[in-house]
Structures are given as C-alpha cells and as structure tokens.
Chains A and B, each alone.
Chain A
Amino acid sequence: EDKVVQSPLSLVVHEGDTVTLNCSYEVTNFRSLLWYKQEKKAPTFLFMLTSSGIEKKSGRLSSILDKKELFSILNITATQTGDSAVYLCAQGVTGGGNKLTFGTGTQLKVEL
C-alpha cells in the first residue's frame, strides 16, 4: 500500500512566522499530490500538484512538488491565528478513479 508521510507531526509558531510543511510519498502509480486544510469540519482543498517544479500559489500559501525526490512542501508566510489547523497531504493514483491516500497530517498552531 502506498504510504504518505508528513512532518513535522505538530508545530507551534507565532503570528508572522513562516512555516514549511513536508510531505513525502511512495509511488507505484502516482497521479497527483493534494494539500487540504482541516479545521473542525471538512478538509478544505488548497492545491493539487501534478508536475515537478511548478509552484502553485494562493495568497500567503504556496506549494511545490518534486517528483524525482518524491516530496512536496507547503509554505505559509506571515502566519495568522486563522491558519491554525491540521494540514493534510494526499496522493492520488492512476486507475481506481483517483482515490486518495492521506498522511496523518501536521497540526499547526499559530499563537499571538
């Protein structure tokens, strides 16, 4: 079974800090790498990456994929307390309709 590993497991930072979250994956039929933000309810879609080296950006969040080294990072600049959440990384595979294999997440807490 494909495995997705996220690090760190948890992180506490102060408002204004920049954080980098890591995700490594093992692949047999890689199709896509996705990032989600989960607060108390639904995981909210952030990014989907399919190509190496192309940064995706949305406001203070950005993400990039390295298909050679099998990892992705999610960067958050100028963090705010509203960024506190669990960030989930997931791998989609070819065949089987792109079902997702999730990591256990990084718990981020942003303090004042």
Chain B
Amino acid sequence: NAGVMQNPRHLVRRRGQEARLRCSPMKGHSHVYWYRQLPEEGLKFMVYLQKENIIDESGMPKERFSAEFPKEGPSILRIQQVVRGDSAAYFCASSLGGLEPQHFGDGTRLSIL
C-alpha cells in the first residue's frame, strides 16, 4: 500500500499523559500536513512541514502541541499533558508540493479519558 500511513488508528490516553501520532507520507512526497477534525466540525489545518522544517504552524495551539518531520522516519504530532478537549480525529496528508493535491491517511482517533 503506497498511501499515507498513520498509526495508531486509535489511541486512548488519560488526562495529563502524552500522545504521539505518526504519519508516513506517500512514497516520493516530502510535504506533510496535519489536520484535526472535532466531532460535528470540519477539518482544521494545524501544521505544514517539509523534511526537517516547519513551514506553517499557524493552526497549532500555542501550548502542548508540537510537530516534527525528521530527515529519516515518519512525521510526529506530539500532544503533551492531554486534556478532554484534545479528543478528535487527527488526519495527516502528504503531497508532492506545488499545486499537487494532498492525499490523506485514515487518521488517528484520539480519546481522552
């Protein structure tokens, strides 16, 4: 399967714990985007990364959230000290850049107890 791969598919955390969400882009794609989908809401942009660089993080909450896309390995979205309001589906998308469309993974559904 050469699509965007996200893991885990489901993640349960208790309040105050850390959540790490992983995304491997499609083969050949070096542009990665993270979006969050809250219940009954549309997808909201969080952050855009290229290899080793954060290009646009205008949608990221100012605290507790961080993202990286290292030279080797998947992109990671990290949420520290999770709260109930972080419960959502987190989607990763990748593209070739430029005007090429973004292709999405199946998402990680994060539940906070």
Contact = CB atoms under 8 A, between A and B. Distances in A.
Chain A interface size range: 20 to 34
B45 A100 contact: yes
Contacts of B98: 98
Contact of A96 (B43, B48, B97, B105): B48
A36 B43 CA distance: 12
Interface size class of B (residues with CB under 8 A): 20 to 34
Nearest to A41: B106
Interface stretch (A13-21, A72-80, A101-109): A101-109
A27 to B, nearest CB: 16
A34 B56 contact: no
A33 B60 CA distance: 23
Interface majority SS (helix, strand, loop, mixed), chain A: strand
A41 B107 contact: yes
Given A48-B101, A96-B55, A96-B58, A43 B48 contact: no
B4 interface: yes
A52 B41 CA distance: 29
Given A42-B91, A43-B91, A98 B99 contact: yes
Interface of B: 3-4, 31, 33, 35, 41-45, 48, 50, 55-56, 58-59, 91, 95, 97-99, 101-107
